[in-house]
């Protein structure tokens, strides 16, 4: 039956257009998935190049002309569209080229890093050697504030190439998490290690399948934190399965809630309970006007006019729940360097319990809480 399925699969792939819709095919078991992979070995390379393996959820991603007949096989759990999603940053008013710091200036601590009180615990933790997988647009390897902070990475847009940033968003996120050079800016956890996973292209778009592959890469490489500063409104069973599996593997997933000003729903994957969902605040200690909000958000962090690293060794100011999320990922790196045994569930609980209360909403009984690095780190038990 597998052979019949493969013949049908190859036919649908070959007859799909070059820019045809991609789909994610989910198998019911590891055994069925493995059997399909074994049978695929004898397939021509032109077809195999169009098939992406998603081992963590026993799935394949590929372009299909139609998924109707393939879904009838009993070992197929489901076939869904492989949609694209975008990074969570608002269009920035400053120059796309960014700006340079004046020569000879002292290291700059951006307002968001100060606000969450990260510098007050750097004597206890700087996130030493804690890996953060940044699934994004890549990173500027040449940036002086990031050069010493970049570990292994992977490029899913141009396979085989290093994950070099051609957009700027991933470099900006990385700077807020772990920048440090002595002359530029300082991030939340200046001794953490960024593992860039380039799943997003220069336009800030990525397929769900590439994000899942990137998550799997992080899990296999034992990277304890994944920063996901992106999202979409459409639900994906495959993405939920991947988030759940990473969570079960002990990985902390930090996800931005979205920039649509919504008061009820937030974007996926932040909507999944296994993530730490993040909203954005401004300098006035209020929820940023663009930020999604509501009961699905676990915690807030600075996300308005955040100054961080940019392409070509420069700097830029961006706003979005993406920027807020990177602050929280940095705090978690501080936590894990101080106490490596913390579980994702415990980390979420501590972040919320030790957060700074900003506003109490009488109608809902909820309190808007902003991450507080000082209180969180000081609350940790000794190793």
Q: Please tell me which residue in 23, 92, 169, 195 is annotated as part of the active site.
A: 169
Calpha distance 110→173 (Å, rounded): 13
Calpha distance 178→180 (Å, rounded): 7
Q: Does residue 143 carry a catalytic annotation?
A: no
Q: Does residue 136 carry a catalytic annotation?
A: yes
Calpha distance 120→150 (Å, rounded): 24
Q: Crossing angle, helix 237-248 and helix 208-220, to 10 degrees?
A: 10
Q: Please tell me which residue in 322, 326, 327, 329 is annotated as part of the active site.
A: 322
- Confirm if 291 and 257 have CB atoms less than 8 A apart: yes
Calpha distance 82→100 (Å, rounded): 39
Calpha distance 153→218 (Å, rounded): 9
Q: Please tell me which residue in 136, 140, 165, 241 is annotated as part of the active site.
A: 136
Please write down the long-range contacts of 46-50, taking CB distance under 8 Å and 24 or more positions apart.
47/10, 47/13, 47/14, 50/13
**Distance from first CA to last CA of the chain, Å, rounded?**
54
Q: How far is CA 344 from CA 149, 261, 265, 348, 350, in A?
A: 23, 28, 23, 6, 10
**DSSP one-letter code for 16:** S
Calpha distance 178→308 (Å, rounded): 10
Percentages of the chain per state (helix, strand, coil), in multiples of 5: 30, 25, 45
Q: How far is CA 184 from CA 75, 306, 323, 353, in A?
A: 55, 15, 18, 33
Q: Does residue 165 carry a catalytic annotation?
A: no
What are 228's strand-pairing partners? Answer: 255
Q: How far is CA 149 from CA 25, 73, 75, 330, in A?
A: 37, 47, 44, 13
Here the tokens at position 142 are 């040449």
Q: Which residues are catalytic?
A: 136, 169, 322
């Amino acid at each position: 039956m597998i052979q019949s399925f493969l013949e049908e699969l190859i036919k649908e792939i070959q007859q799909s257009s070059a820019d045809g819709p991609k789909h994610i095919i989910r198998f019911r078991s590891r055994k069925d998935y493995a059997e399909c992979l074994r049978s695929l070995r004898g397939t021509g390379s032109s077809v195999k190049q169009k098939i992406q393996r998603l081992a963590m959820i026993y799935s394949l991603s590929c372009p299909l002309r139609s998924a109707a007949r393939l879904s009838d096989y009993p070992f197929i759990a489901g076939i869904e569209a492989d949609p694209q999603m975008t990074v969570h940053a608002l269009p920035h008013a400053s120059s796309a080229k960014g700006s340079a710091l004046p020569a000879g200036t002292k290291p700059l601590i951006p307002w968001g890093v100060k606000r969450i009180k990260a510098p007050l615990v750097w004597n206890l933790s700087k996130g030493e050697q804690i890996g953060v997988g940044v699934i994004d647009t890549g990173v500027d390897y040449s940036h002086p504030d990031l050069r010493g902070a970049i570990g292994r990475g992977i490029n899913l847009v141009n396979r085989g190439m290093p994950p070099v940033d051609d957009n700027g968003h991933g470099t900006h996120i990385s700077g807020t998490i772990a920048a440090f050079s002595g002359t530029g800016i300082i991030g939340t956890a200046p001794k953490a290690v960024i593992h860039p996973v380039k799943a997003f292209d220069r336009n800030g778009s990525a397929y769900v399948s590439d994000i899942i592959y990137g998550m799997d890469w992080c899990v296999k490489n034992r990277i304890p934190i994944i920063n996901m500063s992106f999202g979409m409104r459409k639900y994906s069973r495959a993405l939920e399965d991947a988030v759940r599996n990473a969570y079960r593997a002990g990985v902390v997933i930090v996800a931005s809630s979205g920039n649509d000003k919504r008061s009820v729903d937030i974007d996926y994957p932040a909507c999944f309970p296994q993530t730490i969902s993040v909203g954005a605040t401004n300098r006035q200690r209020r929820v940023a006007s663009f930020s999604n909000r509501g009961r699905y958000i676990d915690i807030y962090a600075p996300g308005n006019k955040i100054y961080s690293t940019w392409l070509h060794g420069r700097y830029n100011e961006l706003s979005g729940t993406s920027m807020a999320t990177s602050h929280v990922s940095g705090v978690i790196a501080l936590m894990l360097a101080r106490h490596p045994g913390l579980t994702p569930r415990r980390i979420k609980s501590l972040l919320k319990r030790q957060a700074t209360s900003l506003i109490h909403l009488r109608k809902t009984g909820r309190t808007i809480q902003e991450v507080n690095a000082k209180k969180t780190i000081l609350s940790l038990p000794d190793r």
